[in-house]
Amino acid sequence: MDYLEGRKRLLGSKFCEDIKIYLSNLNSANWPTCQELNRLVAQQSAPIVNANGADINFVPQLQRPKVFEAGFEQRTFLTGEVQVRPQNWHDLLNALVWLLFPRSKAALNARHFAVLQNDVERGRSPQGDALTIFDEDGVIVVSRNPGLNRLLKDFKWVEIFYESRGEVMQDMSFSIFGHALLEKAMNPYVGMTGKALILEYPVGCSALSTAVIDAELSQMIPNGELFSSGRNFSPLPMLGLPGCWEGNEKLEFFLNDSYFRPPKSVKKAWK
């Protein structure tokens, strides 16, 4: 999708409110350059650095890496250089997520690097899969309601998004972390699904800033058990989020069980 159309769609989307502040500060007519992205980095209130303390610097990716150290995650970890392919939404959105969740992206990159060092000889591991899944399609769910957390984890789509719609809007917030999922938000479709990581807070807790969420998530990412498998993330049908998609205020919308899928154990019981 060309830049003008994609930018227009994202700025009008209800799936990615968090990223709009950075997107709106970029060139409105032409694809942003790495220089423009680095200008945004320099404007942040705190330095954006990798886990080694190296400044994050967006650079063009012009050819495929030929050695291990030149790989995408490896180069970011070793030098702070984040490669961006020209005129590429996937890479541009990854850069914007670095601006939005810098500490978490740095922690995720460090974990990626450590896993890749082992995977280069043994092949891709479940840990590597989990890190990639969250980096591409992750959604941070901030919740102040234990009951809603259980409904989400138990695939109770009607109960959470239809019957508890008001509670979800009051007690939960959803922030897309995965840059591939942000790219899908330019052209949403039935089947668009995120991988949710729930951050649980006390009932009645006030709304949290992005910086606070980023700080907590960055402390969770090194947890070996949490990011040991993609199965640790809850599937999240994005079109079910209240207020994000026309028609999802109606019960009928959630009866499409090819999208709002039941747990596998329930599927087996039907057969």
Map out the domains of the chain as residue ranges.
3-123, 133-260
Confidence of residue 123 (pLDDT cuts 50, 70, 90): low
On the question of pLDDT at 267 being above 50, the answer is no
Across 227-253, average pLDDT: 94
Which pLDDT value is given to residue 119?
A: 67
Examine the pLDDT at 215 and tell me if it is beyond 50.
yes
pLDDT of residue 122: 62
Does pLDDT of 66 surpass 90?
Answer: no
Q: How far apart are CA 75 and CA 72, in angstroms?
A: 6
Residue 178: pLDDT above 70?
A: yes
Q: Considering the chain, what is the average pLDDT of its residues?
A: 92
Q: Which residues contact 43 (CB under 8 A, 6 or more apart)?
A: none
In terms of Cβ atoms closer than 10 Å to its own Cβ (0-12, 13-18, 19+), residue 94 is buried
Indicate whether 268 pLDDT > 50: no
